[in-house]
Amino acid sequence: MERINKRQTEIKKELENQQTFKKDISSRLIELSAVRELQERRESLETQKRSSYEELKKTKEALKKIISKQAYTVLLGQTNANFRGIISELKQKGELKSGISKEFVAELIQTGRCICGAELKEGGNGHFHVKSLLKKTGSSSVEETAIRMGAQVDDIDKQADIFWDNVNREQARISQIKTSLSQIEGELDNIEEILRKDPNEDISGLQKRLDGIEGKIDELNREQGANQQEISHLKTEVDVLVKQIAKQKQNEGRQILAQRRIIATQDAIERLTEVKNRQEKQFRLQLEKRVQEIFSEISVTPYIPKITEKYELTLVENTTGIEAPVAASTGENQILSLSFIASIIDKVREWSEKRKIMMVPDSSTFPIVMDSPFGSLDANSRRHIAQTIPKLANQLVVLVTKTQWRVEVEEEILERIGKEYVLTYYSSKPDCEQDFMEVNGEKYYLIRQSPSGFEYTEIVEVER
């Protein structure tokens, strides 16, 4: 574009020089008395020619504006006809009525008084007749819209007629200017031909020079016009590129912002993950410590419970200063599991105490149910467990067999019992062996023959 602009400047300067040469030669031709009249006439025609071209340009621009602003009215002719057909069809069907509107009738019914002054009581004849008008009247809003659109359609048709009048006027003006230009250019050609063939060598020479100058001027004008068109095209491309660059910069800004947000989010995730891992580790170590305390209270072995990162329970011994895994017995595993459960309950209770401000039930409100917690254990371990489990919660349900309910367990738990039950199993087996236990001299059957022949279990409360 810089190269073209530079060339445009050169062309402008060259045109000024050529116009100066043309003016000088025209002045010399006027000075020659033999051709003075012809030269003056040519100067006048040149002025008329320039004015006519300028007027032709303005008339064409006016025609373009008329077409760009009003041409749409011509294209809507068929659409307008379709609209009138639809309105006419609605009127024929009675769907578009004029006169009393539906809204007016509804207002009369709501106020309870007719326009004649009569009272419109619900259930009366007057009320019935006025209400029946609702089915026969149309909506005023629909009517008003149809009327308004009809007026707009009529106005569009009028604008279409005005459009054609304006187009015909401008085209007639263009045709008139072109005819006038043709006459002017024809007369100029005749004058130039006369001067070109004049026997006076000075006159013919000057005319030939003038012809060359005018040819050069025409050539420069064409080049200038082509360059101007290319400049306009390049400006359009530049505008498009500028918009694309601006959009790209905006997108880059959004991408940078999004990238910053991603980085900030990733950093937050990493920090939260680190906090989570630390809290998990702290919780696991605290839980492990509590498991070790409870395990040492119940078990007589010097083993130390450990909780892995996957919350797997293991036992190790450290008698030599080096931790080594231990193959735990069934009883030790049972004590270990019970210690773990007790530790979890302690942590939940601790968590609930810290959050008493929250309206949630305390963990101790819910009962803990334990099935056979004294399974393959020796008497000493059973006693320790019996001492420990009542501390786990305010409500504790313990299921034990007659074998497990021995002296040690009964002695430790008896004073803490709120309710005691025996599960009596009624066997459908005809020759089943019965079993029972005595409490305060009262027999409570554990296994009995079913009197109905069906198998079932009965819960019997123990009275002490």
Residue 140 has pLDDT above 60, yes or no: no
- Amino acid letter for position 75: L
Selection from 424, 335, 344, 339 nearest residue 382 by Cα: 335
Q: What is the pTM of this model?
A: 0.43
pLDDT (tens digit per residue) in 247-260? 888 888 888 999 99
CB 119 within 8 A of CB 112: yes
Backbone angles phi, psi at 100, to 5 degrees: -70, 135
Take residue 81 and report the two structure tokens written for it.
């006809």
Q: Residue ranges per domain, the chain?
A: 419-464
pLDDT (tens digit per residue) in 280-310? 999 999 999 999 998 888 888 889 999 998 8
**pLDDT given at position 103:** 61
Q: Express the helix, strand and coil content of the chain in percent, nearest 5 each.
A: 70, 10, 20
What is the pairing mode between strands 421-427 and 442-449? Answer: parallel
Backbone angles phi, psi at 162, to 5 degrees: -65, -40
Backbone angles phi, psi at 367, to 5 degrees: -75, 155
What is the pairing mode between strands 324-325 and 313-317? Answer: antiparallel
Take residue 173 and report the two structure tokens written for it.
């003006």
pLDDT tier at 364 (50, 70, 90 boundaries)? Answer: low
Residue with more model confidence, 391 or 340: 340
pLDDT (tens digit per residue) in 423-435? 999 999 888 899 9
pLDDT (tens digit per residue) in 183-221? 988 888 888 777 666 655 555 666 677 777 778 878 888
Residue 176 has pLDDT above 90, yes or no: yes
**pLDDT given at position 33:** 47
**pLDDT given at position 445:** 92
Q: How far apart (Å, rounded) are the C-alpha atoms in residues 330 and 313?
A: 14
